[in-house]
Structure 1
Amino acid sequence: MAFDLLGKLGEDGIMSAVFSEERVVSNWLVVEAEFARALADAGVIDTARGERIAAACRLDVIDRERLWKETRNVGYPILPLVKQIVAALDDDDAAWVHYGATTQDIMDCALALQLRDAADRLTDLVGQFGDAIAQLVERHAGSVMPGRTHAQQAVPTTFGLKMAVYLDQLARDAKRLTAARARAAVVSSYGAGGTSAALRDNGPAVRSALATRLGLADAELPWHVARDRVAELTSAAAMTAGTCVRFAREVVDLSRTEVGEVSEATGKYRGASSTMPQKSNPISAEAIIGFGVVAQNAANAMLRALEAGHERAAGEWQVEWRAVPGCLIAAASALDVAREAAENLLVFPDRMRANLTRDGGRIMAEAYMIALAEHLGRDVAHESVYDAVLLSRADGLALPEALRRSVAPELWDRIAAVLPEPDAYLGNATRLCASALTAWRSRTHGA
Structure 2
Amino acid sequence: MADVFTHPWLGGLFGDSETEALLSAEATLKRLLAVEAAYSRALGVVGVVDKNTANETAEHILQFSPDMAELRRGTAEDGVVVPALVTALRTGLPLRCEKALHIGLTSQDVIDTATVMMFKQVCDLFAKRLEAVTGTLAALNEIHGNKWIMGRTRMQAALPIAVSDRLSIWTRPLAELLERLHQQQACLFRLQLGGPVGTRDSIGANANEIADQMADELGLINSGVCWHTNRSAFADFANWLSLVTGALGKIGQDVALMTQQGVDEMRLSGGGRSSAMPHKQNPILAELLVTLARYNATLVSGMHHAVVHEQERSGTAWTLEWIILPQQIMTTGRALVASNTFLEQIETIGSDAPIA
Query: Could you tell me which of 226, 233, 240 is aligned with 2:230?
Result: 226
Contact 2:152-2:159 at 8 Å conserved across structures: yes
Find out whether 1:301 has 2:302 as its counterpart.
yes
The AA in structure 1 aligned to 2:41 is R
- Higher-helix-fraction structure: 1
State the match for 2:25 in structure 1. Answer: 21
Contact 1:79-1:103 at 8 Å conserved across structures: yes
Structure 1 CA distance for aligned equivalents of residues 302 and 268 of structure 2: 33
State the match for 1:85 in structure 2. Answer: 89
Find out whether 1:113 has 2:121 as its counterpart.
no
Query: Could you tell me which of 156, 181, 190 is aligned with 1:152?
Result: 156
- Give the SS at the match of 1:244: helix
The AA in structure 1 aligned to 2:235 is A
Structure 1 CA distance for aligned equivalents of residues 152 and 89 of structure 2: 63
Cα deviation 1:61-119 (Å, max 9, x = unaligned): 31111111111011110000000001120222124310111000001110110111111
The AA in structure 1 aligned to 2:186 is A
State the match for 1:339 in structure 2. Answer: 340
Query: Could you tell me which of 255, 266, 291 is aligned with 1:251?
Result: 255
Deviation at 1:287, TM superposition (A): 1.9
Query: Could you tell me which of 37, 42, 64 is aligned with 1:38?
Result: 42
Cα deviation 1:171-219 (Å, max 9, x = unaligned): 1010111122232111111101111111221111111111111110111
Q: How many residues align?
A: 352
Alignment of structure 1 residues 34-433 onto 2, 5 Å: 34-58=38-62, 60-266=64-270, 270-350=271-351, 356=355, 422=356
Cα deviation 1:375-397 (Å, max 9, x = unaligned): xxxxxxxxxxxxxxxxxxxxxxx
Contact 1:37-1:47 at 8 Å conserved across structures: yes
- Give the SS at the match of 2:205: helix
Structure 2 CA distance for aligned equivalents of residues 161 and 101 of structure 1: 54
Cα deviation 1:231-281 (Å, max 9, x = unaligned): 111211210111110000001111111211113323xxx411111111111
State the match for 1:377 in structure 2. Answer: none
Q: Kindly tell me: are residues 140 and 156 of structure 1, through their superposed partners in 2, closer, same or farther at Cα, counting changes over 3 Å?
A: same
- Give the SS at the match of 1:197: coil
Contact 2:49-2:99 at 8 Å conserved across structures: no
Rg bigger for which structure? 1
Deviation at 1:290, TM superposition (A): 2.5
- Give the SS at the match of 1:346: strand
Identity of matched residues, %: 25
Contact 2:149-2:163 at 8 Å conserved across structures: yes
Deviation at 1:57, TM superposition (A): 1.3
Deviation at 1:121, TM superposition (A): 1.2
Deviation at 1:295, TM superposition (A): 2.5
Q: Kindly tell me: are residues 132 and 320 of structure 1, through their superposed partners in 2, closer, same or farther at Cα, counting changes over 3 Å?
A: same
Deviation at 1:60, TM superposition (A): 4.5
- Give the SS at the match of 2:100: coil
Contact 1:186-1:218 at 8 Å conserved across structures: yes
Contact 2:109-2:194 at 8 Å conserved across structures: yes
- Give the SS at the match of 2:149: strand
Structure 1: gaps of 5 or more residues? 357-421, 423-447
Q: CA RMSD in A?
A: 1.7
- Give the SS at the match of 2:159: strand
Structure 2 CA distance for aligned equivalents of residues 88 and 291 of structure 1: 47
- Give the SS at the match of 2:150: strand
Contact 1:265-1:346 at 8 Å conserved across structures: yes
Deviation at 1:162, TM superposition (A): 0.4
Deviation at 1:2, TM superposition (A): 2.6
The AA in structure 2 aligned to 1:203 is A
After TM superposition, the score normalised by the length of structure 2 is 0.94
Structure 2: gaps of 5 or more residues? none
Contact 2:150-2:157 at 8 Å conserved across structures: yes
Contact 1:145-1:353 at 8 Å conserved across structures: no
Structure 1 CA distance for aligned equivalents of residues 268 and 83 of structure 2: 51
State the match for 1:374 in structure 2. Answer: none
Structure 2 CA distance for aligned equivalents of residues 263 and 299 of structure 1: 34
- Give the SS at the match of 2:198: coil
After TM superposition, the score normalised by the length of structure 1 is 0.76
